[in-house]
Amino acid sequence: MSSPSSSEASFILVGGDRGSPTQKSESVIQLPLFITPQHEIHPATHPSADPKYTPGRVPSYAHDWSQQGTGGGLRTHGRHFVDAYGRVCNLRGVNLGGACKTPSNDDNATFPAGHQSVTFVGRPFPLEEAPEHLARLRRWGLTFVRFLVTWEALEHEGPGIYDTSYLAYLRALLTLLPTYGLAAFVSMHQDVWSRYSGGSGAPAWTLELVGFNLQEVEERDGDAGTERENVTPLEESGAAWLRGVRGGGHTEAERGLWPCGYQKLAAATMATCFWAGSTFTPKLLLRDPRTGNDVPVQEFLQTAFLDAWAVLVRAVGDLEGVCGFEMMNEPHRGYIDLKSLHEFDYNTDLHLSVVPSPFQSFQLGAGHPTSVPVYTRSFPMPTSKTGTAVLNAGRKKAWRANGPSGGECVWAREGVWGWAEGQGEGEEGGKAVVLRENYFVKHPLTGKKIDWYTDFYYPFLHAWVARVRGVAPPGKDIITFVEAIPNEFCPPSWTPEQHVPNMVYAPHWYDLNALFQKAFGDFTVNVQGLSRGMFPLKAFYWGQKGARDNFSLQIRNITQAAYEVLGEKPVLIGECGIPMDMNKGEAFQTDDFSWQARMMDAMITGLERSLIGFTLWNYNPFNNDEEGDSWNGENFSWFSRRRALPPSLLYYEQDAVSLDQGARILPALMRPYPAKTAGIPLRFEYEMTTGAFVFEWGVPTQEQKGAAPSASDVGKPTVSSPPLAGHPALSATETEIYVPSLLTKGRKLIVRGLGPEDRYVYDERRQTLFVIPRDNAPGTRHRIEVSLNPPLVPAFEINNFWSDFGARVVALLVVLVGIVVYYFLPGHPV
């Protein structure tokens, strides 16, 4: 890799805890572990505490999460993020971004060759473009960032060899965030374990060390016969589906297939080995290059993962713009807790296209042609079995002969399955048999029932937190973001002893029906409810009002479940978004993205009603109409640099409308929200068809420094009734609300509900409404109604079933009543 540029040279990797890990010599210069920034000392009391203070006198703005904007940074208290003045902070932002899943020198034609020499420098965007993108996010009010990093980006060349050029790039980029009011938490991203098993995340060497064969690559014609591609034994044996990471996933036959990779042999085996290899693959030992000794696969993988994290935290953990870290995106249990080797759970695991059972996957990976079920999309159930197909007719093995298992399936080696007595492996007529049906439910040695969360996830989470906090700069209170398995509610086992310091619960939410169908219209379905036994007719909704109510209920359920299990802990939706190529991509032809705007509005309305923050998926400047986000056929980014103005025509202030070019559905995204509240937010409702909103908040009933409110203080926590007791002392009276200039340009902002001595000012240049009520006595509740004059021209109608069909229903009822009355009239002939 080339020597670091001048911007990269400002940071150099320091030694990790592995002793002396291999480093790229051309970019290694010894510097102290941290260069501690000299932050400005901010007063403990906000200027608005002075009765003579005039609204808006502070130099910052509502959505500014820098040290200056927050009085010293963000922290957590109870269910809230708060600033140094005790104000509740509502964090909204983006995942930055989808491009981070793939290297900047990615080559679909040669993948997976050359995986040691990839580079992620320039992901999510080149450093020289950073001012443009960060200024754009600031203008849009999306200033809280979930910043994506992959293990592969850090350590692609081999165990202990870290990409210092990439780390220097990260440091240079994240250093810029506070200049634009942004703050970030860094998330280690993965899907389906790795790009080399069909997703993103882990380096290729992790699969190779476990024994998977990535080396014997064959070149063949693509399905359309127009292009050639490399094919690995993992694909031939059905152990992984890799077409989506080679630019595929856009055809109807390939649409939405990638999540099925979690059930395939490669990803499921890797996840199982990572979390519980010492339990389920005790015979699988790997040579530790530090000691030369053989160690269990779980120990090797987890140690390498934690070492990579230590290097990352040392690289960026001291930066002002980095407030926290997230251990792993969408963790998956692999085979752990699997009740049967003959099937996956239809209600939790996607069944689409060819769906081999675990037992069938074992046989396929061992090189044996096997007939497997085929599922296609259906209604009312998402998919149904429509046939079978024989896979691996070429008898390719997923396991390499020179691997740690000698080319044998690791699950056969552990005695999970084998061949009937007297019939050798591979002999004509040989029959595979399951030997330990409940292998992944109970501990193989003790027989104790296994639970993935309590036995494996929580212990490793605590080890990760200890490692991160152990290498973080002294005095910095790192916020730890955590999540459960996707589409599951917060597990009841997440009891207080399993909590980690400064914990934020950051689950994901997507409308699964829209994602699966890649379609959105007036008819929406609550898949979350159906999967949990909801009566079908209650799960069907109509119109925009119905979509808002549907999404609001689902998001509320996730949030409420978290409060009931975790108590007063912050909840932030780490991922939520909508497909831009929905409805067969017709918007790309018509340039009418009204359905996308309606869906985004319904989703954010649901988030607003639950009073929680979120980071949208995703901002990807490399997105385009044809290839989307260039990963597994996804197309979620509402911004495409291809549609934007060139940098020479841009300026970077908050009122720069030129920054909006290249975006879609901005009216659904650029929405007012109370960013910093001098009190507890109680209700927020925004109507994007008019630009009006209502905001209610209360002054804490007791000002108490120290502990967050306990269960005995607040009773059963609910979404709609946040506790007013136990909040830290407020040293500010000014509430700051982000109101985008996109709405107010050429219009008058009208604020109702304030008393004669209350004060406010709206600064369109800073896109901030500053409000200071006169009465801030404990327990006081405030309510304001904000509207525009003239109001916005409605982008769509807020329709529901009765507005669309009410007249017809009434007419039909009148006819039916008339018929009944006619037949029961006296003298009517029978």
Q: Name the 3-class secondary structure at 82.
A: strand
Cα dist. 516→126, 255, 400, 512, 527 in Å? 33, 9, 35, 6, 11
CA distance 465 to 144: 22
Alpha-carbon distances, residue 556 vs 312, 569, 752 (angstroms): 34, 15, 29
Cβ-count burial 46-81 (b if 16+ within 10 Å, e if not) = bbbbeeebebbebebbbbbbbbbbbbbbbbbbbbbb
**Terminal Cα-to-Cα distance of the chain (whole angstroms):** 94
Tell me the CA distances in angstroms from 827 to 275, 675, 815, 818, 821, one per residue in order: 81, 72, 21, 16, 12
Region at 532 (left for phi over 0; alpha for psi -120 to 50; beta for the rest): alpha
Distance of CA 157 to the CA centre of its chain: 27
d(CA 760, CA 752) in angstroms, rounded, equals: 11
Sign of CA dihedral 221, 223, 229, 230: negative
Specify whether the backbone of 66 is left (phi greater than 0), alpha (psi in -120 to 50) or beta: beta
DSSP 730-743: P----EEEE--HHH
In b/e form, how buried is each residue of 773-810, taking b as 16+ CB within 10 angstroms?
Answer: beebeeeeebebebbbeeebeeeeebbbbeeeeeeeee
Quick check: is 575 catalytic?
yes
Q: What stretches of 65-217 show up as alpha helix (H) in DSSP?
A: 67-70, 130-139, 151-155, 164-175, 204-210
Catalytic residue among 132, 155, 229, 330: 330
Catalytic site residue from 320, 326, 575, 634? 575
Tell me if residue 653 is catalytic.
Answer: no
What lies within 8 Å, CB to CB, of 185 at 6+ separation is 145, 146, 147, 322, 323, 324, 325, 326, 479, 481
Residues 6+ apart with CB under 8 A from 358: 263, 268, 335, 338, 341, 342, 344
From the list 613, 604, 717, the residue with the least C-alpha distance to 82 is 613
Residues near 447 by beta carbon (within 8 Å), at least 6 away in sequence: none
Give helix then strand counts, H and E, for the chain.
Answer: 21, 30
Phi, psi of 68 (to 5 degrees): -65, -45
Cα(109)–Cα(219) distance, rounded to whole angstroms?
10
Q: Are 541 and 547 in contact (CB under 8 A)?
A: yes
| Spatial distance between the Cα atoms of 321 and 115, rounded to a whole number of angstroms | 31
Cα–Cα distance for residue pair 796/515, rounded to 1 Å: 22
Do residues 481 and 185 lie in contact, with contact meaning Cβ atoms separated by under 8 Å? yes
Q: Any idea what DSSP says for residue 571?
A: B
* Element at 234 (helix H, strand E): helix 233-236
Comparing CA positions, the residue from 189, 92, 196 lying closest to residue 148 is 189
Q: Which residues contact 577 (CB under 8 A, 6 or more apart)?
A: 510, 603, 616, 617, 618, 636
Q: Which residues are catalytic?
A: 330, 575
